[in-house]
Each structure stands twice: as structure tokens, then as C-alpha cells.
Chain A
Amino acid sequence: MSDIPILAAEDVTKHFESRDGVGRHVTVRAVENVTLRLHRGRIAALVGESGSGKTTLARLLAQFYPVTSGRILLRGEPVTGPDRRFAGEVQLVFQDPFASLNSLRRVEHNLRRALKLHAHPAGDEHVRELLGKVNLTPEAEFARKLPHELSGGQRQRVAIARALAVRPSVLLGDEPISMLDVSIRLDVLNLLARLRDEEGLALLYITHDIASARYLSDDVFVMYAGQMVEGGPAESVIQEPKHPYTRLLVDSSPDPERAAGSSAFTAAEKLGEPPSLVDPPPGCRFHPRCPFARDECRTEFPPRTEFPDGGWTNCWLHVTRPEDTPTP
């Protein structure tokens, strides 16, 4: 793992200007001071509920829109805007493979177009090589198919092949399996893992499925209402969550191994819902739902606390204040 991340968001903030139901001007504080770094040959999972800012962060990384503040760095260099060179390095895979392919054109056309746009050789053999990489065999047969002749999983693999056509170093997957049938999801996850191992891709895997994040990723990052609240090695974040929100997410996830009646959910019942991003609570945005909230949580976003296992969290529960330290 090289020290310079291939793609990084450094302290980025994104506010959207919008109008509310009666036409008043409002600011939606979608992402606040978030840092996320993607490394070669590693998969980072980004988890959180809808509206937590996961997709906004991915789109900032992909230069879909400019940051309000902060920087996006490609190999340590600030990125100035979306251009062909940037698109040649960073590719997105979307949630809905039924909407992301040109449905009037054959698979080979969809792939060849990406090859040509990025000035790569676009012969039949190159199209077949891409299809081979995503296990769509026999390649020649799949190349001739129209998107509607494919299943959801096959389409998503075509979408991934198209992303690979530009020979990117970073793949940003926004819920790439959530619309696929259960029995073929693992296929796509295993494919992503192989691309990490064999092609050395840096991957961002956005999901709300904690178990799949654990299965696929090396690192897990947790967002809540636009703030990054915890991150670190996947196993440590999921098995020993430090932030109360991460614990709530893990405890809420389906777990057939969980002994009946042992769950924390009865308590989850009265926890309410994530806040409005137009008028988010001050301090830690999770404090209105947090059973451990204290005074400082309501006024100030907590600093980062780092742990020996490489994990970290922004939570006042883990902040050692000077007055807590016994004086010798």
C-alpha cells in the first residue's frame, strides 16, 4: 500500500442551494468536513443511512459537481475539474444497471464507445477481453446482445466492463448490488474483489448492507447526516464499533445468528430518524438519537480519537479531556 492515496477527498464540504416547499431559499448541508482516502489495491466501504451523504461524497470524488470547500486530490495533485484525463482514472458504477446502459445499442457498442472515447484500441478482441474480465462468457455471444436480453447481474457486469474499458485506477461503486437478485450479488462482489487483487484497483463500495461491506472491504467508513463519524479496518469497525451510531447500524442489520430476543432493537424503537440537513442539530448531528449524549455533544463536533488497531472515531465518549487525566 503506497502512502499517497490515488484519490482523496480532503476536508470537503458540500452545500446545495435549494428551495423549500413554499419557495424559500434553503441550504442543504449534505457533506461537512469529510476526509476519505482511496488506496491502490484496497476497497473502502462507505456505509450509512440514506441521506447520510454517501452518494454526494462519491459524486464529489467523481467531480460531478464542485466542492463547496476542501480539496479533491488525484495522486496527491489537486483536481481542477472533470476532464478526459480525470475520467480516464476515475470511473463510477451506478446502482441501477437497467438505466445506466444504452438500451438501444448492443453490449459491444456500449463498450466500444468507452474504448474509443479514451483512445484505446477498440477491436472485437478488445471488447471480448473486457467481457472476459467480468466473466461474461462466451464473450462473442454476449457482445452481440442488447441490454434487455441480459439479467440484472449480467447488465451490472457490462456496466463494470464499460468502466474498466477506460483502464481506470479508481472505481466508485454506488450501491452496485442493491438492485440485483440475492443469488447473483455475491458474483458481483467477488468480481470487484478480483479487480482489486488482480488489477490493483482502488475501490469505493457504497452500501447500506453492513454484512456485504464486511465481506468485501478492507476498510469501513461510517457517515451520519453528512458527517464522517468512524473509520478503520473493516473487522474492527464492524465487530467493535466505537461510535454509538455505528453500533446502532450493526445491531439493526439482519443477523440470522443472533439469538432470539437478545437484540438491542427494542431500544431502537424510539430512536427516531436522521435529522434534516437543512437545519441539522449543532455539534454531533447524532446527539438527538444518541443514548449517551452529553452537554458537549450538543454544542461542538468532537475531535478525532485514534485507536491502536488503526481505527478512529469522532465521538466525545472517546475524547480524553485534560481534567480526566489524573495528575501525578
Chain B
Amino acid sequence: MILDVKGLDVDYVSAKGAVRAVNDVSFQLRRGEILGVAGESGCGKSTLIMAIMRLLRPPAALTGGEVWLHPRDGEPVDLAARTDRELRTLRWRRIAVVLQSAMDALNPVARLSAQFADVLKAHGYRDAGKRTAELLEMVGISPDRARSYPHEMSGGMRQRAMIALALACDPELVVMDEPTTAVDVVMQRQILSQILQLRDRLGFSVVFVTHDLSLLVELADRIAVMYAGRIVEIGEAAGIYADPKHPYTKGLRDSFPPLRAPVTKLSGIPGTPPALRDLPPGCAFEPRCARRFGDCAERRPELLPVGGGLAACHLHDRERAHV
């Protein structure tokens, strides 16, 4: 295990009071594993990984929980309890992040080589030029591109440069926030296959956040589905797709028309996600759920074992009671 997140809470604080964007989120990440986090806008998936990376900025604040990083050599550290100074020794070397918009994440007035050198020198690499060339080659960018400014590169190339930069100091955990949303399908495919190959070669673990569940099924080992700030289901990728236990997961899955299977009329999920400020007392998905019953509206389901994974849904209360 490399990461153990326990009961994480994140609040957005405003004059009208706090809004809980991430609510009691717990999960574990195995070494070398790719965990996909899927959900719609506002479900808290980006906030979750910013919290894990300790990159939250006001008005967002980490208000509870633990984020235990288990380095391959050395004692476990609770990232949630470290100061910024302490985190500096972990960032890049242990944990790294790839953000959604490579254009905004790269410095527009510095050549790639300078941006790589910044990171490499701060972490004690003597021959930054050689390492930069090596990293760019790893993601299929010609090393002479190191002299380019970000605006001279295509969107796909910038995104790959961001991935190379994240891998600069050989981190154990790489967190990626929609790294392929802004690029075309062909480039998306190239980037994903590179991530898989690099993971196999270098052995890092990945938390990969996206709204595209169909993509995760091919990429991730396990998938966590978030809704209204909570994980509502988590399990093996193939199982989540073939046999989702939560009606929201099923609805999300059935929102993607098939590429090859016969086309039937699909309907998506009726309604829209609830406002976080005004969550229903029971299951947050209850107002949109076709299978709601009994006290779904009053009693919030806990995330409990079902099949091989975990799901937060009262539909499984009875089978659990029989076990």
C-alpha cells in the first residue's frame, strides 16, 4: 500500500457558512496501482485530489481526516498533518501532480528546459540537461524540443511535457486531474498508453480523476465513483463496469453510448446533482434514483462491502443481513 486516506473532509468557507465539498472520503491505493476517480462536475473529485496533494487554496480548507503516505523506504507520513516546509521534501520526490490545463500550468515565458531545470536543481540533480532530455524522450517528445516555449507546442505535446515534468524526480505517487480532457481522442489515446507503459516501467502509483467513466474502464485497475462529495462505490474496474452495485454508477455507465455493441435507446440520469449547500438528509442520489424505496430519503447509506467492492446503497442492506 502506498496511500491510505481516512475520513477526509474539505469545506469551502464563505459568508453564508461552510459547504462540505468532500465528505468523509476514505480509500487505499496499492503500490503500482491506477485508481480512477469518476464523477460529474461538482462531485468533489478535483477537490479531493487537491486535498491529498495539500494544494487547496482558500476558501477551500482541509477540515478533517488523514492522508497516510507509505514511502518505499522510511516511515509512513500523514500528509494532512505536515507543514508546508515538511511537504517540500516530499513533493516531486514522493508525490507529484499533473493538472488539467497544461497551458496554464506551464510558465508561458520560460523555455521547457528552464522549467525542468528549476525542479531538477532544487532536488539535487546535477546534470539537469541530460535528465530533461531523458524525461522528454520518455513521453515521446524529441529532446531538442526542450528549447521550446509552451506556446510553440501543441496541446498534446504540452500535456505530455507536464507528465514528463511530474516524473522528473521519480515520484512514487502521481496524481492526475483530467490530463486528457483538453486534447483530441487520438492524442488522448497516445497519452493514456504512455501512462500505462511508464507505470509498468517505473512502478509509480496513479490517482486519475476524470468525468469519463468509459475511459477509466480501460485504464484503471480500480475505480471510485463520487457523488455529492462522497464515494458511493469503489471496486475493480472490470466489475464496476460489468456489474455496478450503485444505481448512480449504473446510470453513469449507461450514459455512454456503445462504440460497437448494438445501439439501444439510452436515457442518462434524470434531474441534476443536488446543491452541496442543501443536501437531502438521506442518500444524496435519492431524488434522481429510479430504485429508491423506503427510507432512502431519510437514512444515509454507509459505504459497505458488496460483491468484491464497496457501495453506499440501501438496496444491498438485505443481502448483507443474510450473510
Contact = CB atoms under 8 A, between A and B. Distances in A.
A263 B251 CA distance: 26
A286 to B, nearest CB: 11
Contacts of A255: 214, 218, 258-260
Nearest to A289: B186
Interface stretch (B46-54, B102-110, B266-274): B266-274
Contacts of B40: 181-183
A192 B255 CA distance: 16
B255 A257 contact: no
B211 interface: yes
Interface in A263-321: 263, 265-266, 268-271, 273
Contact of A268 (B41, B186, B255, B273): B186
Contact of A210 (B259, B261, B267): B259
B214 A252 contact: no
B212 interface: yes
B218 A256 contact: yes
Give the interface centre of B157, B193, B251, B268 by most chain A CB atoms within 10 Å: B268
A252 B266 contact: no
B193 A208 contact: no
Contacts of B188: 252
B215 A215 contact: no
A186 interface: yes
Contacts of A50: 184
A253 B186 CA distance: 8
B259 A250 contact: yes
Contacts of A151: 272
7 contacts: A182-B252, A187-B267, A215-B257, A215-B263, A253-B185, A269-B190, A270-B140
User: Which 5 residue pairs across A and B have the least CB separation, nearest first?
Assistant: A215-B257, A186-B268, A256-B217, A183-B269, A252-B189
A24 interface: no
A184 B272 CA distance: 8
Given A182-B40, A269-B140, A212 B257 contact: yes
B303 interface: no
A185 B255 contact: yes
B269 A239 contact: no
Contacts of A1: none
Contacts of B268: 182-187
A271 B252 CA distance: 32
B92 interface: no
A97 interface: no
Interface residues of A, number: 43
Nearest to B272: A151
Contacts of A154: 272
Give the interface centre of B185, B213, B259, B261 by most chain A CB atoms within 10 Å: B259
A132 to B, nearest CB: 17
B116 interface: no
Interface in A103-126: none
Interface in B129-146: 140
A130 interface: no
Contact of B190 (A209, A212, A260, A265): A265
B187 interface: yes
A156 B273 CA distance: 17
A254 interface: yes
Contacts of A153: 272
Given A153-B272, A249-B186, 17 more contacts: A181-B273, A183-B251, A186-B266, A186-B268, A208-B185, A210-B259, A212-B257, A214-B257, A215-B263, A248-B186, A249-B185, A254-B212, A256-B217, A263-B193, A265-B192, A268-B186, A271-B186
Given A190-B267, A215-B263, A182 B212 contact: yes
B194 interface: yes
Nearest to B215: A254
A140 to B, nearest CB: 19
A268 B189 contact: yes
Given A187-B268, A257-B260, A260-B218, A252 B194 contact: no
A211 interface: yes
Given A211-B256, A257-B258, A257-B260, A265 B213 contact: no
B154 interface: yes
Contacts of A252: 185-186, 188-189
Interface string B191-223: 011100000000000000001111101100000
B218 A49 contact: no
Given A185-B268, A252-B189, A273 B156 contact: yes
Contacts of A25: none
B265 interface: yes
A240 B257 CA distance: 18
A291 to B, nearest CB: 14
Interface in A202-250: 208-212, 214-215, 238-239, 248-250
A84 interface: no
A85 interface: no
A266 B193 contact: yes
B186 A211 contact: no
Contact of B185 (A49, A182, A183): A49
B241 interface: yes
A269 B251 CA distance: 32
Contacts of B187: 49, 273
A265 B180 CA distance: 15
